[in-house]
Amino acid sequence: MSSAVATEPRRQTGVAVEQVVRRFGDRVVLDHLDLTIADEELVILLGPSGCGKSTLLRLLAGLDRPDGGRVEVPARRAIVFQSDRLLPWQRVLRNVTLGLHGPDADQRARDVLAEVGLSGRAKAWPKELSGGEAQRVSLARALVSEPELVLLDEPFAALDAITRLRMHDLVRALRTRHHAAMLLVTHDVDEAIALADRIVVMSNGRIGTSHDVHLPAADREVSVAREELRARLLEDLGLASQH
C-alpha cells in the first residue's frame, strides 16, 4: 500500500484519513484507521492513554509519516500541545509572530492576542505568565496564521478546573471568528461534551465509535440527553462500571 501525505493545492479544508497504518517496531499503533473531518467541524478524540491519539495528530500535523494509507489535510495547519512550548527567551509578541512574514505580522499578532484576552501581555516574558495565560499564547500562535485545521493535543489537561472552563468559553468564541476545522484530544468526557460537534472514540488502533453532538449549549451542562451521551462515552472507553 502506498503512503502519502497529500497537501491539496486548491482550497480544501476538510481532513480525510484513509486506512492509515503506523507501526513502531512490531507494535501496530494505527491499524487501518479511517477518519474524516468536515470544514469547520470540531471533532473531539477520546481514547485510553497509549492508544495512538498523539500519533494520529502528529501524522495530521505532518510531523510524522504513515507506514500505509492516505492522509489528506489542508495546507495551513497548526498544533497546540499540553505544554505551551513557548520560547523562554522571546517575549509574548515574538512568540506569536514566530514564523510569520510580512509588514503586518506584529499587528496580526496583537489582534489575535486581544482575541485571547491578552492585549496587555505582549511584552511579558513566558516565565511571567500563568499556565492559563501561556496556553492562551499558544492558541494565539496557532491561530495567527489563519489555519484551516487546528490540532490540539490535550491542550487544557495541565490547567486547573476553573481555568479549563474559561478555556472552553474561549474555544467557543474563537470558533465563531476563525473558520477552522479542529481536532482536539482529551481524556475528559465532560470537556468532550462541552465542546464537540462530534466525539470519536479510538480503540484497537481505529476509530471505534462516533457520536454526533446536537445538544444546545444549555443542555450540554444539565440534561438527560447529556447524561445519556456521557454514559455511552464511558461505556465506549470501558469505564462504565466505575460510574
Ligand X SMILES: Nc1ncnc2c1ncn2[C@@H]1O[C@H](COP(=O)(O)OP(=O)(O)O)[C@@H](O)[C@H]1O
Please give the residue ranges that form the binding site for ligand X (CB under 6 A): 24, 29, 47, 49-55
Residue 186 partner contact from Mg ion, ligand X, none using kind-dependent CB cut-offs of 5 to 8 Å: none
Neighbours of 55 (CB within 10 A): 18
Residue 146 Cβ, how far from ligand X at the closest point, in Å?
27
Residue 40 Cβ, how far from ligand X at the closest point, in Å?
25
Residue 24 partner contact from ligand X, Mg ion, none using kind-dependent CB cut-offs of 5 to 8 Å: ligand X
- Of 133 and 236, nearer to ligand X (C-beta) is 236
Q: What is the layout of strands, in order, in the sheet containing 149-153?
A: 77-80, 149-153, 181-185, 42-46, 198-203, 206-212
Residue 66 partner contact from ligand X, Mg ion, none using kind-dependent CB cut-offs of 5 to 8 Å: none
Distances 16 to 48, 69, 129, 199 between C-alpha atoms, Å: 23, 11, 37, 16
- Of 26 and 89, nearer to ligand X (C-beta) is 26
Residue 53 Cβ, how far from Mg ion at the closest point, in Å?
5
- Of 33 and 118, nearer to Mg ion (C-beta) is 33
Residue 49 partner contact from Mg ion, ligand X, none using kind-dependent CB cut-offs of 5 to 8 Å: ligand X
- Of 50 and 99, nearer to ligand X (C-beta) is 50
Name the residues that contact Mg ion, by CB under 5 A: 53-54
- Of 12 and 83, nearer to Mg ion (C-beta) is 83
- Of 148 and 154, nearer to ligand X (C-beta) is 154
Residue 56 Cβ, how far from ligand X at the closest point, in Å?
7
**Residues composing the chain:** 243
Residue 55 partner contact from ligand X, Mg ion, none using kind-dependent CB cut-offs of 5 to 8 Å: ligand X
Half-sphere CA count of 85, side-chain side, radius 13 A: 13
- Number of continuous H segments (helices) and E segments (strands) in the chain: 8, 10
- Give the strand pairing for 68-73 and 15-24: antiparallel
**Cα separation, 18 vs 163, whole angstroms:** 36
The DSSP code sequence of 177-241 is HS--EEEEE-S-HHHHHHH-SEEEEEETTEEEEEEE----HHHHHS-HHHHHHHHHHHHHTT-GG
Residue 99 Cβ, how far from ligand X at the closest point, in Å?
24
Grid cell 454514559 — which residue? 231
